[in-house]
Amino acid sequence: MSLPVIPIDRKRVVAPRITRLTQPFWNALAEGQFRVTQCHSCGKLSFPPRAFCRHCWSRDTGWLTVSGKGRLYSQTRIHALPELFAGEPAPLHVGIVDLEEGVRVALPIHGDAPGLDVPMELVVLQFHDGPLFAARSVAG
């Protein structure tokens, strides 16, 4: 299953710093998949991607593609943007989504979210120079 893709008619204000660790994540996102790291020792998930498990410190980890479905845990609007984000439209709407697989992701929120605990879905924001991820309310 592929995440919804929303075209954004500009370049990213801040492009992600892609490392050897995060390259598979960004490659998957460009193909509409959202991946988290999963520990092969204890099974727990981590995001952002990590080279070791933050629960049991095992280095035996791999990638898991998640559904992109979850619920809104928290949200806020940032009216005074840091200088780095000066090119972003203000206010910047950000939140935390608990994915149904049991991992928490901090991200921008696309559009309005009617309230906490509402169903959310991850989306790919396709900018001119590459993708970023966000979440939107399933209710619209």
Which residues of this protein are in contact with Zn ion, per CB under 5 A?
39, 41-42, 53, 55-56, 58
> In this complex, which beta carbon is closest to Zn ion, that of residue 43 or of residue 115?
43
Is residue 120 within 8 A of residue 138, CB to CB? The reply is yes
> In this complex, which beta carbon is closest to Zn ion, that of residue 31 or of residue 60?
60
Taking the complex as a whole, the smallest distance from the CB of residue 61 to Zn ion amounts, in Å, to 8
Question: Amino acid letter at 10?
Answer: R
Token couple for 118 = 């509402």
Closest to 31 measured CA to CA, from 138, 133, 136, 135: 133
Taking the complex as a whole, the smallest distance from the CB of residue 27 to Zn ion amounts, in Å, to 24
> In this complex, which beta carbon is closest to Zn ion, that of residue 64 or of residue 94?
64
> In this complex, which beta carbon is closest to Zn ion, that of residue 53 or of residue 122?
53
Taking the complex as a whole, the smallest distance from the CB of residue 25 to Zn ion amounts, in Å, to 18
Peptide bond into 7 cis (omega under 30): no
Taking the complex as a whole, the smallest distance from the CB of residue 40 to Zn ion amounts, in Å, to 8
Question: Distance between CA atoms of 82 and 68, rounded to whole angstroms?
Answer: 28
